[in-house]
Amino acid sequence: MTVKLHHTRSGDGPPVVLLHGLFGSGNNLGALARALADTHSVYCPDLPNHGRSGWLEDASLATMADCVAHWMLHQGLPRSQFVGHSLGGKVAMQLALARPDLVSALVVADIAPVDYPAQHDAVFAALEAVAAGQCTSRDAAAALMAPHLQEQQVIQFLLSSLRRDADGVYRWRFNLEGLRRGYGAVRSKPVSSAPYRGPVLFIKGGESDYIREEHRAHILSLFPGAAVKIMPGCGHWLHAQRPGLFNSLVQRFLLARGP
């Protein structure tokens, strides 16, 4: 099953597709999109169950990757470079492994192709508190999230996915029930019958533990051409914490690989 994906496009040149993380939307990588727009046609889709895109009952990595493949067909994109952060990186890896003909180069930001334990219980509790709270302001929503989440950066990130309905109540734009139901599936590792042999760059936040030394062998088994760069002084939100460095690393890698 596939659903329609909402996207924005900017710039001119060879295509690059930017895929955001869990609970986000296509505009989360806006700083990178602006940096790449001088050299590329930049596409920023909302993943299924996120943003303004359609909702899926089965939100596995495979079905999300399949939706991206169908979206590329409708956009007339036979092949593209990809950049994915967190969940977006997993979806991009799954697409590269399943449909290597569609992916000319890949940047994966702070995620590995492995199974991850559940680590978003507090986030789901905060989201559900807002969903039940009938909030009429963003400040009220932030107040409901505060007992569950201590990081203001995370709260502000989540608030960007609120929308106000006709009754003036703020509701989540993403499919909260579907994300909760599919959480186990998106935490799983990508599946493949063969490695992806194209160029791949993994960028790790120096203070993040999402990519670990023990992941290296598995990364190279699936992506034998992979290189790893470490960004000091930042964690999982590396693209927001050190945008200049992150954008520079991505742009240099993509330009060196051509269209």
Task: Say which amino acid occupies 9.
Answer: R
CA distances from 101 to 16, 73, 80, 194, 212 (A): 15, 12, 9, 13, 29
CA distances from 144 to 23, 133, 161, 257 (A): 17, 8, 15, 46
Nearest CA among 96, 109, 78 for reference residue 197:
96
Q: Enter the tokens of residue 165.
A: 């309905």
Burial class (CB in 10 A: 0-12, 13-18, 19+), 28: buried
Nearest CA among 21, 39, 10, 9 for reference residue 250:
39
Instruction: Let me know if 86 is a catalytic residue.
Output: yes
Euclidean distance between the first and final Cα of the chain, in Å? 30
Which of 25, 41, 86, 104 is catalytic? The answer is 86
Which of 40, 50, 85, 236 is catalytic? The answer is 236
Q: Are strands 41-45 and 15-19 parallel, antiparallel or unpaired?
A: parallel
Instruction: Let me know if 10 is a catalytic residue.
Output: no
Question: Nearest 5°: phi and psi at 65?
Answer: -65, -35
CA distances from 246 to 10, 21, 78, 115 (A): 19, 16, 27, 25
What is the distance between the alpha carbons of residues 107 and 128, in angstroms, rounded to a whole number?
A: 32
Residues with active-site annotation: 86, 236
